[in-house]
Chain A
Amino acid sequence: MNPTLTRRGALGGLAAGLTLLASGRARALGNDDRVGIALLQYGSGYDQRPGAVEQLLWETTKRTSIDVREKPVFLTPDSPDLFKFPLIVWLGDAAFPALDEAAVAQLGRYVRAGGCLFVDDASPPGVDGFDQSLRREIDRMLPGRALVRMSNDHTLYRSFFLLERPFGRTARQSWLEGVELDDRTGVIYGRNDLFGAFGRDAGGSWRNAVEPGGDEQREMAFRMGINLLMYATCLSYKRDQVHVTEILRRRKWRVDDTGVVR
């Protein structure tokens, strides 16, 4: 396992990143074209992870070549600006009222047209209100297309980092669910409070403890988040045959603690 990203490491990385930016790091031509995240402003919990998106985007800038918008944009489900953001994150921690018909139609059209909706259930363990509400709305948005369990060899798990399963602030569920549309997963649903692992307070400390794995799990959550951004931008790129052999070869090299080749 890689060294966990410690506060000192993070600060060092921040300094390096700032140096790179200051040294003239290139940018997309227009701000609209940089890779950003829009947060869906609906229900409860969408604003309970302050700084999380910014931190993830900062880590993405630091570790990958993606050019990001530093801050998220909050959009209501019926906002026409949804279509300017190919990746929308829906955070929630409790049951929410049904979306109105216009919002349902718009979200459905958005996903079918190529948008990616990542839903992050930040509910405490044992609380399923958000989960039940979300499934109800997915049924309305995409009739006939159910959320199904994503295989652990889904491209999302190898879009940048090689991961075995989803990570987040919690380890509630060892799989993701998704809705497949035209050879891509248009809706991705995780229940491990992914964005809960990212935010820092004003003093630079992590806002939330990551359980049960601590900093090591937080690092894996960042990798999960970066993979999410990579999947949103590159789709099935890593499934292309040209990469498959190489990736399979590397997976063979990886030996777990028991000595079993995975």
Chain B
Amino acid sequence: MNDAAEFNTSRVVLLSDWSPGTLALVALISLAVLALAWHNVRAQPPFRRNVLLALRGAAVLALFTVFLEPGLRLENVTRVRNHLVVMVDASRSMDLPGYGDAPRLAGVQQALAREAGTLEGWRGAHSIDFYAVTDHARPVGRPEEITAGGDATRLATGLADIAARHRPDELAGVLLFSDGADNGALGAYGPGKELPATVRDAVLRLGAPIHTYFTGPDEPVKDVAITDVQYDEFAFVHNAVSIEADIAVQGYDELSLPVTLRRDDALLGTRVLQVEKGPDGNAHSHFKFDFVPDKTGKAIFTLEVGTAPGEQITVNNKRQFVVRIIRDKIRVLQVVGRPSWDQRFLRQLLKKNPNVDLISFFILRTNTNITIASQSELSLIPFPTEELFKEQLGSFDLIVFQNFTYRGYNMEAYLPLIRDFVRNGGGFVMVGGDLSYTQGGYAGTAIEEFLPVTLRRDKADAATPDRFRPVLTEAGRRHPVTSLSVVPEENTALWGGLPELSGFNRVAGVKPGAVVLLEAPGDDRAPVVVAHEFGEGRVLGITTDSTWHWDLHAAETGDNRHYYKFWGNAIRWLIKDPALQPVRVQADRDRYPLGTEATLTVRVAGRDYLPAPDADVLVEVDRVTLDAEGRSQSETVFHQAGKTNEQGELVLRYKPPGDGGYRVRARATVGTGEGTDEDPFIVAADPVELRETRARKDTLQALAEASGGSFHSLDSGLGLDALRRNEPQVSRVNRRKDVPLWASAWWLLLAVFFPSAEWYLRRRWGLL
């Protein structure tokens, strides 16, 4: 067997076993010999000096080489294949056209198929590992298995995944096929910028060349894309909310499109997108929508830009998101016909409540009062009826008419507005007194339409001044407004122990559907506290102006908390505090990635507001879409009945079928009635991946440069043969052979020749 066949590596080594000290000593001696030679010939003409020094140096070198004993080491070694990673971008943007009309991913798959033979040939030295990269790198068996469905492109994260899997000495290199439209750390790179630190770190940890292949296209696709929407997940009702959006346009010279914002199917605003061709053919526009939400609750907001002619990507023309509109404070308008003790204690209660933003208006003087002081000596201001009952009416959650008559203030035109306010979901309380109910002139007005009671037409005998202790009705025992204790017997006892009240307004009757909670004792059982629902709103009628006795008077025995409890309950019920809803349903997230399972939880409470076990519940999920005119269309896509557990809960899991807005609805039987609730959520209706669809060479070029790799365009071939790859690592030496080089006759001849030549010339030139 010859050496070439027996050994597969060779290298020059020193075969001597001289110690480093000996080697150093010999090296010093050699230098000293050269120095003496120079000293000896320094006065000679340059030619003679140089020749003699060259010969002396060559002689010393030849002898030193022999001393070192150089040799050739031949080895037979076994190498472990290292990994060549072929990483293919599998995000949704790879489904867009690349070079030619074919999708970008298809272009990659075709190119790899063409070079399959070359890659196969590399398998002796490298393990060829295929990965699909989206938000992370995931191994795949063959490139044909990859589909462009990922909702993100995070190339640096993918490279970090490879670095975590392989040490640098295990990697031959990375071939990365992508459109460069990264929406992770690499996406932040741009002209004049350095690679982000996280990207640099990933490249450094990889320790192998990254050869990048750009899928194209060089020309931008025709696309109008909502690239970013800035909004807060929480907003406050009756407070201005801003939603801002960035829209990128590419591939169009001029364009004019509508941009709309909707809450569910209600149009909140329209803007016009005007594009004029920029220097690079791209344009970015910024839009701002301001609006004031008028009701609480979660809602699906849809921001949409029209479709441009010939637009290639339309899925990024719409963004949906969920905003939770909450109360910052309960805005209460307290209007009082005259200062009184009743008004004083209610105001104190409302002012003490940190959740209440109170606007009070008290009529301190009427036109029947004598005016002795001039207006400038009084702290009085006009009663701003138009501002309160027309302009700002919708900003309140609750209106309290406390012993107040509308007459004398030109308010007749506002009474229907107040009725509509209640019908649309506002809360209203009428507190009794000599200016309330029939005495306030409300009979036959729009106010009477929503009051829980019908009013006497005749003022005579419309009030009684008698002291009385109101009695809890059967409905009042369990109603949240009159719930001083969750234990019904204790609740009844507490009401029986409260101080007497003094006088109440008499009414003609109780309206159908209204619920009397407290009534005066006696045969006529006159209503004292009555609850009523009108449209979307709630109304409480209190026919006395003396509940303040439950505060100060009750404090005589050291306990006035029931006054606070009663009014606190009343306010929570009037504003429809969600905690008082008998049926509540909630999705565990506001937004789900596509393919994720949603957990839907239904909670049911009984009439006593305690968890209701074994209650029948029906859960339905509607898929909500907007048609071309912006009208909401819904289709029920899930329907399941069940019963609540011991905690009054029913938990269901559901996998939504696709992108878009959804609304889960729960309906349950509560006592003799039925309660419903709903909760909206979104399923990946705004894929991050398609916010920015522009193919980017620059990101791939930067990666290649930073790693010592090379950049290529897919349309010019893969050029695999020219790629720099790290060699596989040696794992074992099977055989070794050292061949001494110094033992050659030529070396001995040289070692004799150089000193002899020097001797001859010295003699000839008379230097000996």
A and B found bound together: yes
Binding site for B on A (CB under 8 A): 2-3, 5, 9, 13, 16-17, 20, 25-35, 62-67, 80, 82-84, 86, 109-110, 113-115, 158-162, 182-184, 219, 223, 229-230, 232-238, 240, 242-243, 246-247, 250, 253-254
Q: Which of B340, B370, B465, B555 contacts A83 (CB 8 A)?
A: B555
Q: Please, what's the 1-or-0 string for B364-379, where 1 marks a CB less than 8 Å from any CB in chain A?
A: 1110111111111111
Would you give the shortest CB distance from B25 to chain A, in whole angstroms? 96
Of all chain B residues, the one with the shortest Cβ separation from A12 is B370
The reply to whether the CB of B229 lies closer than 8 angstroms to some CB of chain A is no
Contacts of A3 on B, CB cut-off 8 Å?
Answer: 372
B339-A64 in contact (CB<8A):
yes
The reply to whether the CB of B467 lies closer than 8 angstroms to some CB of chain A is yes
Contacts of A230 on B, CB cut-off 8 Å?
Answer: 339, 364
28 contacts between A and B (CB under 8 A): A2-B372, A2-B377, A13-B372, A28-B503, A29-B434, A29-B505, A29-B544, A30-B465, A30-B503, A30-B545, A33-B503, A62-B369, A65-B338, A65-B363, A83-B556, A84-B549, A86-B345, A109-B556, A160-B365, A161-B377, A162-B378, A162-B379, A233-B343, A234-B347, A235-B344, A240-B360, A242-B381, A243-B379
The reply to whether the CB of B435 lies closer than 8 angstroms to some CB of chain A is yes
B558-A109 in contact (CB<8A):
yes
Contacts of B560 on A, CB cut-off 8 Å?
Answer: 113-114
Would you give the shortest CB distance from A242 to chain B, in whole angstroms? 7
Would you give the shortest CB distance from A237 to chain B, in whole angstroms? 6
The reply to whether the CB of B341 lies closer than 8 angstroms to some CB of chain A is yes
Besides A29-B504, A219-B372, 6 more A-B contacts (Cβ < 8 Å) are: A28-B403, A63-B365, A66-B364, A84-B549, A161-B377, A233-B339
Instruction: Give the CA-CA distance A20 to B369 in the complex, in Å.
Output: 9
> Of residues 198 to 234 in B, which have CB atoms within 8 Å of A's CB atoms?
none
A223-B546 in contact (CB<8A):
no
Instruction: Give the CA-CA distance A115 to B560 in the complex, in Å.
Output: 13
B344-A234 in contact (CB<8A):
yes
How many A-B contacts at CB < 8 Å in the complex? 176
> Of residues 537 to 555 in B, which have CB atoms within 8 Å of A's CB atoms?
544-546, 548-549, 551-553, 555
The reply to whether the CB of B678 lies closer than 8 angstroms to some CB of chain A is no
**A-B complex: 10 closest residue pairs judged by Cβ atoms:** A29-B503, A30-B502, A30-B503, A113-B555, A233-B339, A26-B434, A83-B556, A32-B502, A65-B338, A158-B379
A80-B340 in contact (CB<8A):
no
Binding site for A on B (CB under 8 A): 337-345, 347-348, 351-352, 358-360, 362-366, 368-381, 403, 432-435, 439, 463-467, 501-505, 544-546, 548-549, 551-553, 555-556, 558, 560
Instruction: Give the CA-CA distance A159 to B344 in the complex, in Å.
Output: 13
Would you give the shortest CB distance from A193 to chain B, in whole angstroms? 22
Instruction: Give the CA-CA distance A237 to B348 in the complex, in Å.
Output: 10
Known: A16-B370, A25-B368, A162-B379. A31 touches B339 (CB 8 A): no
Instruction: Give the CA-CA distance A243 to B359 in the complex, in Å.
Output: 11
A84-B504 in contact (CB<8A):
no
Instruction: Give the CA-CA distance A27 to B501 in the complex, in Å.
Output: 16
Known: A31-B465, A115-B552. A63 touches B347 (CB 8 A): no
Contacts of A219 on B, CB cut-off 8 Å?
Answer: 372
Contacts of A233 on B, CB cut-off 8 Å?
Answer: 339-341, 343-344
Known: A33-B340, A162-B377, A242-B359. A62 touches B370 (CB 8 A): yes
A86-B368 in contact (CB<8A):
no
Contacts of A159 on B, CB cut-off 8 Å?
Answer: 379
Of all chain A residues, the one with the shortest Cβ separation from B363 is A65
Contacts of A66 on B, CB cut-off 8 Å?
Answer: 338-340, 364
A31-B377 in contact (CB<8A):
no
Instruction: Give the CA-CA distance A29 to B467 in the complex, in Å.
Output: 10
Instruction: Give the CA-CA distance A160 to B435 in the complex, in Å.
Output: 21
Contacts of B381 on A, CB cut-off 8 Å?
Answer: 242-243, 246
B360-A223 in contact (CB<8A):
no
Instruction: Give the CA-CA distance A139 to B546 in the complex, in Å.
Output: 32
Would you give the shortest CB distance from A201 to chain B, in whole angstroms? 22
A33-B545 in contact (CB<8A):
yes
Contacts of B553 on A, CB cut-off 8 Å?
Answer: 83-84
Instruction: Give the CA-CA distance A242 to B555 in the complex, in Å.
Output: 32
A114-B551 in contact (CB<8A):
yes
Contacts of A65 on B, CB cut-off 8 Å?
Answer: 337-339, 363-366, 369
Known: A35-B340, A160-B378. A13 touches B555 (CB 8 A): no
Contacts of B378 on A, CB cut-off 8 Å?
Answer: 160-162
Instruction: Give the CA-CA distance A235 to B548 in the complex, in Å.
Output: 15
Instruction: Give the CA-CA distance A236 to B363 in the complex, in Å.
Output: 15
Instruction: Give the CA-CA distance A152 to B347 in the complex, in Å.
Output: 24
Instruction: Give the CA-CA distance A16 to B373 in the complex, in Å.
Output: 16
Interface centre among B358, B371, B373, B549 (most CB of A within 10 A): B373
Interface centre among A25, A63, A109 (most CB of B within 10 A): A63
Contacts of B338 on A, CB cut-off 8 Å?
Answer: 65-67
A30-B344 in contact (CB<8A):
no
Contacts of A162 on B, CB cut-off 8 Å?
Answer: 376-379
A64-B364 in contact (CB<8A):
yes
Would you give the shortest CB distance from B14 to chain A, in whole angstroms? 94
Instruction: Give the CA-CA distance A63 to B373 in the complex, in Å.
Output: 9
Instruction: Give the CA-CA distance A58 to B432 in the complex, in Å.
Output: 24
A5-B360 in contact (CB<8A):
no
Of all chain B residues, the one with the shortest Cβ separation from A31 is B465
